[in-house]
Amino acid sequence: MKIAILSRKRSLYSTTRLIEAAEQRGHEAQVINTLRAYMNIASNRPEIHYNGQILADFDAVIPRIGASVTFYGTALLRQFEMMGVYPLNESVAISRSRDKLRSLQLLARKGIGLPVTGFAHSPDDIQDLLTMVGGAPVVIKLLEGTQGIGVVLAETQKAAESVIEAFLGLKANILVQEYIREAGGADIRCFVIGDKVVAAMKRQAVSGEFRSNLHRGGSASIIKITPEERSTAVRAASIMGLNVAGVDILRSNHGAVVMEVNSSPGLEGIEVATGKDIAGMIIDFIDRNARPHRTRTKGKG
């Protein structure tokens, strides 16, 4: 099998591990810099060009598309889909999960537990917005933020009002969420492949920090999850349409609540914490499922 890996750096841990896992199973893996590939849109036969050559004969594509290049990356992935190449995660599912507001609305519609979340446009509505989510402390998130960047904990009503006013004054789109104090600065990353949680880790924020992202200095350890958490993670990934996802869950007083569904979850933290060959599981999933033109949206989304 010939597998394309869309990644801007071959040296990244996740990319390297996927190459190793593919080659160990007798497959050929080629890393394609997402921003250096270019497309012939108007052709009757969709084409992707790279380094002056036409890319052809791929059986599957693994998108490792960074949040900053979502628009171009999903356009490139759609082109692969139109060529009949099997995508690990489809372009529509990635776009859906990257839109934080849309993803929360979809999860809420299907009854997935979420923190109480508010969204508004006018500064005149700040007071009622804060009341709606239960008052301070609240978490304020930029819709375009990633890896904990653009996430602020406002511990008092005045602080919340000031931060929201500042963001809205800059024309930024934000979400305001209740602060799950009982989580104690920890969340659970559930790694979903297909219809199973194949691994889970607890991410704990450093002292004085409420964001548990490993990029922010958080620590990772193995954890046993409950049947409710397992079911919630699998359902959340399915609602997004993702075959592979990192589902971030908080343990709250009213059960498991989903913070985010990540379409390109990193492998390093989860593999180190659990000792599991997650990259190998991903390649095995592709082995079982990759068929020509097996994309549900056929690149139309």
Question: In this predicted model, what pLDDT tens digit does every residue of 128-157 receive, in sequence order?
Answer: 999 999 898 999 988 876 655 788 889 999
The domain 117-179 is placed in CATH, from the list 3.40.640.10, 3.40.1690.10, 3.30.1370.100, 3.30.1490.20, at: 3.30.1490.20
- Would you say residue 212 has pLDDT above 90? no
Q: What is d(CA 122, CA 197) in angstroms, rounded to the nearest whole number? A: 40
The domain 96-113+182-284 is placed in CATH, from the list 3.40.50.720, 2.130.10.10, 3.30.470.20, 3.90.740.10, at: 3.30.470.20
Q: Which of the 8 DSSP states describes residue 267? A: S
What's the predicted TM-score (pTM) here? 0.88
**Of 220, 201, 199, 223, the residue nearest 281 (C-alpha):** 199
How many other C-beta atoms can be found within 10 angstroms of the C-beta atom of residue 266? 19
Are β-strands 28-32 and 2-6 bridged in parallel, bridged antiparallel, or unpaired?
parallel
- In this predicted model, which residue has the larger pLDDT, 141 or 281? 281
DSSP secondary structure string, 121-134? S-GGGHHHHHHHTT
Per residue in 167-187, is it b (16+ CB within 10 Å) or e — as a string?
A: bbeeeeebbbbbbbeebebbb
pLDDT at residue 301 in the model: 45
Strand order across the 38-40 sheet: 38-40, 47-50, 53-54
Who's near 26: CB < 8 A, 6+ residues apart?
Answer: none
Can you tell me whether residue 239 is helix, strand or coil? helix
pLDDT at residue 122 in the model: 84
Comparing 10-14, 29-33, 77-81, 119-123, the range with the smallest average pLDDT is 119-123
DSSP secondary structure string, 151-163? EEEE-SHHHHHHH
> Could you tell me which CATH class the domain 2-89 is placed in?
alpha beta
Residue 282 and residue 14 in contact, taking contact as beta carbons nearer than 8 Å: no
pLDDT at residue 170 in the model: 86
Who's near 207: CB < 8 A, 6+ residues apart?
Answer: none
Whether the ω angle into residue 292 lies within 30 degrees of 0, i.e. cis, is no
How many other C-beta atoms can be found within 10 angstroms of the C-beta atom of residue 37? 19
Instruction: Compute φ and ψ for 284, nearest 5 degrees.
Output: -65, -40
Q: Is 92 exposed, middle or buried (0-12, 13-18, 19+ CB in 10 A)?
A: buried
Mean pLDDT across 95-100: 92
> CATH 3.40.50.20 residue ranges in the chain?
2-89
Most confident of 17-21, 43-47, 179-183: 17-21
Residue 203 and residue 219 in contact, taking contact as beta carbons nearer than 8 Å: yes
Torsion of CA 43, 45, 48, 54, to 10 degrees: -110
Who's near 251: CB < 8 A, 6+ residues apart?
Answer: 182, 183, 186, 188, 229
Residue 266 and residue 273 in contact, taking contact as beta carbons nearer than 8 Å: no
**Of 87, 86, 88, the residue nearest 292 (C-alpha):** 86
- In this predicted model, which residue has the larger pLDDT, 35 or 292? 35
> CATH 3.30.470.20 residue ranges in the chain?
96-113+182-284
Provide the pLDDT confidence category of residue 205 given band limits of 50, 70 and 90. Answer: confident
**Of 118, 210, 196, the residue nearest 164 (C-alpha):** 118
